[in-house]
Amino acid sequence: MCGTMLLSDLLERNAKLCGEDTALVELNPIHDDAKNLSWQEYELVETGHASHYRRELTWRAFDERANRFARLLADKGIRRGDKVAILLMNCIDWLPIYFGVLKTGAIAVPLNFRYTAEEIAYCADLSDARALIFGPEFLDRVGSVRRELAKVATYVFVGMDAPDYANSFEGLIDRYAPEPPAIELAEEDDAAIYFSSGTTGFPKAILHTQASLMSAAVTEQTHHGQTKDDVFLLIPPLYHTGAKMHWFGSLMSGSRAVILKGTSPQWVLETAAEERATIVWLLVPWAQDILDAIENGDVDLSRLDLSRWRLMHIGAQPVPPSLIKRWKKHFPHHLYDTNYGLSESIGPGSVHLGVGNMHKVGAIGKAGHRWRTRIVDGYGAETPQGEVGELIVKGPGVMKEYYNDPEATAAALRDGWLYTGDMAMEDEDGFIYLVDRKKDVIITGGENIYPVQIEDFMRKNDKIKDVAVIGVADHRLGEIAVAIVELKAGVRATEEELQSFAGALPRYKRPKKIIFDEVPRNPTGKIEKPKLRRKYGADAIVAKETEIGVETKEERICAETEIGVGVRET
């Protein structure tokens, strides 16, 4: 083993130093589909709020399960450098499986659980995956593209009743020894392939090393100070760098994490109270729903002991300052941080606001621990403060490359700097504000419009829950700005009313059309603008009704809880 500590070393350290302490808890709300659970391993818990199924792993059991899985993979022919795709919903075995892959010297390839069958095949092929680990939610999709998965030689099924072409995780895991495999790992070894979110096109395969993963753990704990006493409530999907890299703070400190399979405001708040959570990472829509539930009387905070909750932080998207202002009204003692990062810069942390900078809410912050930032023009020269340019970052978590794509790698990596594609500006105090995606800039009549500026303004309207602005072709101006507006539940508004509100914007920034519809976001909270562009061409805009038919609360909760317990196409 090299002198530098790696992630798997941290897991083995925790198993030795605090092996009987709880590492992971999975909470499964009672409405889940029973056939997909190994009920003998769950405890049915009845609380004053709701019933759920609960399962725990200690640090020792976590490490041993990872070791057993590493040996299972080796027995099936997986060797150092092989790619192992992981297609699972959030569950307690997700992380032991991930670490089992790392311990073999193989490369973990997490897949988005919302991928269609075709996207699963595309990403498996792009990454040269030789093994696929998948759960029961994906039986139909995997089965339909098996012939296209020519490089995949080994299938492992995590659930009951494995198909005949797959090995059973539950049936095999306990047959293997719990000791770690005798494989030396080094920090320069390739470790994981993550995929870009695909909000601007086909996903790219992003290759990271062992050192890159470890840097995320160090950065996360430095930013948020996790100790052994912390409890992290983990809600976002583990396939993404965001949730996993925030959990790395729990790995560093040997503290407990609770995997909650559901995102309704009631579940989040009640679980935070019952599990004595201290840190919760939310996406903007979930935070908005929690505030709405509190203010609508759907949740009674006086019944919940949330006194240990110390930090609420948000990533993956710009955060409206109005949201944090509302949040602090209900949770005045909370520390707050927002994190900016990309899968190419190993998730959150390359830029962050910092818990002491509440006066700068609206900014994404400054360079994170061991990171550097610049804002540059199209020629790579730094822009003056206050002017818009492209944000570039440099640090220990920058990707090694886009796997098997030297052209895209050369475009994104220059002299060690990662060109993010995000347009930003820096204020007089050095705080960075996102303006928009480089590809999302709307050019109307020769003027550059940055949609996020319009979106941030429109979200100040009390009736608006969410908004996305896209460019639509116009024969005279080239493009015009169109705002897709999602209203809060039970609220009605007209286009004329919101156009009047937008009148406070400079004339060229005002949306030329307002459409009332749901704003689609992927599981990491990013607006899926390609979907909106496909949905709303010029003809569709004319035909669209301008008054909303409000969706029911039940529909909204159902859609959101699929992040934890269902499957949707991305």
CATH number at residue 531: 3.30.300.30
Residue 517 corresponds to which amino acid? Answer: D
User: Which helix (H) or strand (E) element contains residue 350?
Assistant: strand 347-352
Q: Which of 386, 421, 456 is the last residue of a domain?
A: 421
Residue 366 and residue 373 in contact, taking contact as beta carbons nearer than 8 Å: yes
Considering the domain architecture, whether residues 383 and 454 belong to the same structural domain is answered as no
Kindly report which listed range (192-196, 517-521, 538-542) carries the lowest average pLDDT score: 538-542
State residue 544's pLDDT score.
Answer: 45
Considering the domain architecture, whether residues 381 and 471 belong to the same structural domain is answered as no
pLDDT value at 312 more than 80: yes
Considering the domain architecture, whether residues 291 and 143 belong to the same structural domain is answered as yes
Q: Does any domain span residue 427?
A: no
Q: Does any domain span residue 474?
A: yes
Mean of pLDDT values over 449-461:
87
pLDDT value at 401 more than 90: yes
Closest residue by Cα to residue 346 from 217, 177, 498: 217
pLDDT value at 464 more than 80: yes
- Comparing 436 with 157, the larger pLDDT belongs to 157
Q: Each residue of 462-479: b (16+ CB within 10 Å) or e?
A: eebbbbbbbbbeeeebeb
CA-to-CA distance for 296 and 207, rounded, in angstroms? 45
- Strand spans (E) along 81-196: 83-87, 107-110, 129-134, 154-157, 167-168, 190-195
What are the pLDDT digits (tens) for 499-510?
A: 999 998 878 789
Considering the domain architecture, whether residues 114 and 209 belong to the same structural domain is answered as yes
CB atoms within 10 A of CB 44: 10
Residue 87 and residue 113 in contact, taking contact as beta carbons nearer than 8 Å: yes
pLDDT value at 553 more than 80: no
Q: How far is CA 257 from the centre of its chain?
A: 16
Considering the domain architecture, whether residues 445 and 415 belong to the same structural domain is answered as no
State residue 181's pLDDT score.
Answer: 95
Mean of pLDDT values over 198-212:
81
**CATH number of the domain that 350 lies in?**
3.40.50.12780
Considering the domain architecture, whether residues 412 and 452 belong to the same structural domain is answered as no
Kindly report which listed range (125-129, 314-318, 450-454) carries the lowest average pLDDT score: 314-318
Residue 331 corresponds to which amino acid? Answer: F
Range list of H helices, 368-520 = 406-412, 451-458, 495-502
State residue 59's pLDDT score.
Answer: 98
What are the pLDDT digits (tens) for 323-335?
A: 899 999 999 999 9
Residue 525 and residue 285 in contact, taking contact as beta carbons nearer than 8 Å: yes
Considering the domain architecture, whether residues 416 and 460 belong to the same structural domain is answered as no
- Comparing 161 with 552, the larger pLDDT belongs to 161
Q: Does any domain span residue 436?
A: no
Q: Does any domain span residue 429?
A: no
- Number of continuous H segments (helices) and E segments (strands) in the chain: 17, 28
Q: Which of 421, 456, 485 is the last residue of a domain?
A: 421
Considering the domain architecture, whether residues 408 and 445 belong to the same structural domain is answered as no
pLDDT value at 40 more than 70: no
Number of domains the chain contains: 2
pTM strictly above 0.95? no
- End-to-end, the C-alpha distance of the chain in Å comes to 40
Give the chain's mean pLDDT: 86
Instruction: State the burial class of residue 239 (Cβ atoms within 10 Å of its Cβ: 0-12, 13-18, 19+).
Output: buried
Closest residue by Cα to residue 281 from 311, 258, 302, 260: 311
Q: Which of 393, 421, 449 is the last residue of a domain?
A: 421
State residue 475's pLDDT score.
Answer: 56
- Comparing 202 with 97, the larger pLDDT belongs to 97
Q: Does any domain span residue 428?
A: no
Q: Does any domain span residue 426?
A: no
Of 1-5, 177-181, 237-241, 539-543, which has the strongest mean pLDDT?
177-181
Residue 368 corresponds to which amino acid? Answer: G
Residue 124 and residue 149 in contact, taking contact as beta carbons nearer than 8 Å: yes
Q: Does any domain span residue 312?
A: yes
Considering the domain architecture, whether residues 337 and 282 belong to the same structural domain is answered as yes
CA-to-CA distance for 350 and 339, rounded, in angstroms? 8
Considering the domain architecture, whether residues 181 and 279 belong to the same structural domain is answered as yes
Structural domain containing residue 547: 441-564
State residue 445's pLDDT score.
Answer: 62
State residue 44's pLDDT score.
Answer: 53
State residue 568's pLDDT score.
Answer: 22
Considering the domain architecture, whether residues 371 and 514 belong to the same structural domain is answered as no
Q: Does any domain span residue 217?
A: yes
What are the pLDDT digits (tens) for 217-244?
A: 999 999 999 999 999 999 988 998 888 9
State residue 223's pLDDT score.
Answer: 95
pLDDT band for position 317 (cuts 50, 70, 90): low
pLDDT band for position 262 (cuts 50, 70, 90): confident
State residue 564's pLDDT score.
Answer: 29
Considering the domain architecture, whether residues 20 and 122 belong to the same structural domain is answered as yes
